[in-house]
A and B are shown apart, each in its own frame.
Chain A
Amino acid sequence: DADVTQTPRNRITKTGKRIMLECSQTKGHDRMYWYRQDPGLGLRLIYYSFDVKDINKGEISDGYSVSRQAQAKFSLSLESAIPNQTALYFCATSEGQLYQPQHFGDGTRLSIL
Chain B
Amino acid sequence: QKEVEQDPGPLSVPEGAIVSLNCTYSNSAFQYFMWYRQYSRKGPELLMYTYSSGNKEDGRFTAQVDKSSKYISLFIRDSQPSDSATYLCAMGSGNTPLVFGKGTRLSVIA
| Stretch of B14-22, B76-84, B96-104 contacting A (4+ beta carbons < 8 Å) | B96-104
Interchain CB contact (< 8 A) of B98 among A98, A106, A109? A98
Q: Which residues of B contact A106 (CB under 8 A)?
A: 41-43
Check if A101 is an interface residue, CB within 8 A of chain B.
yes
Interface contact A42-B43, CB-CB below 8 Å: no
Known A41-B102, A106-B41: A101·B46 in contact at CB below 8 Å: yes
CA distance A4 to B8 in the complex (A): 27
Interface string of A93-113 (1 = CB under 8 A from B): 000011111111111010000
CA distance A107 to B39 in the complex (A): 12
Check if A58 is an interface residue, CB within 8 A of chain B.
yes
Q: Which residues of A contact B32 (CB under 8 A)?
A: 99-100
Interchain CB contact (< 8 A) of B45 among A97, A99, A104, A109? A104
Q: Which residues of A contact B45 (CB under 8 A)?
A: 104
Check if A33 is an interface residue, CB within 8 A of chain B.
yes
Known A33-B97, A41-B102: A99·B44 in contact at CB below 8 Å: no
Q: Which residues of A contact B100 (CB under 8 A)?
A: 42-43
Interface contact B44-A40, CB-CB below 8 Å: no
Chain A 22-58 residues near chain B, CB threshold 8 A? 33, 40-43, 45, 48, 58
List the interface of chain A (C-beta within 8 A of B).
4, 33, 40-43, 45, 48, 58, 90, 92, 97-107, 109
23 contacts between A and B (CB under 8 A): A4-B43, A40-B8, A40-B102, A42-B102, A42-B103, A43-B44, A43-B88, A45-B97, A90-B43, A90-B44, A92-B43, A98-B94, A98-B96, A98-B97, A99-B32, A99-B93, A99-B98, A102-B90, A102-B98, A106-B41, A107-B41, A107-B42, A107-B43
List the interface of chain B (C-beta within 8 A of A).
8, 31-32, 34, 41-46, 49, 88, 90, 92-98, 100-103
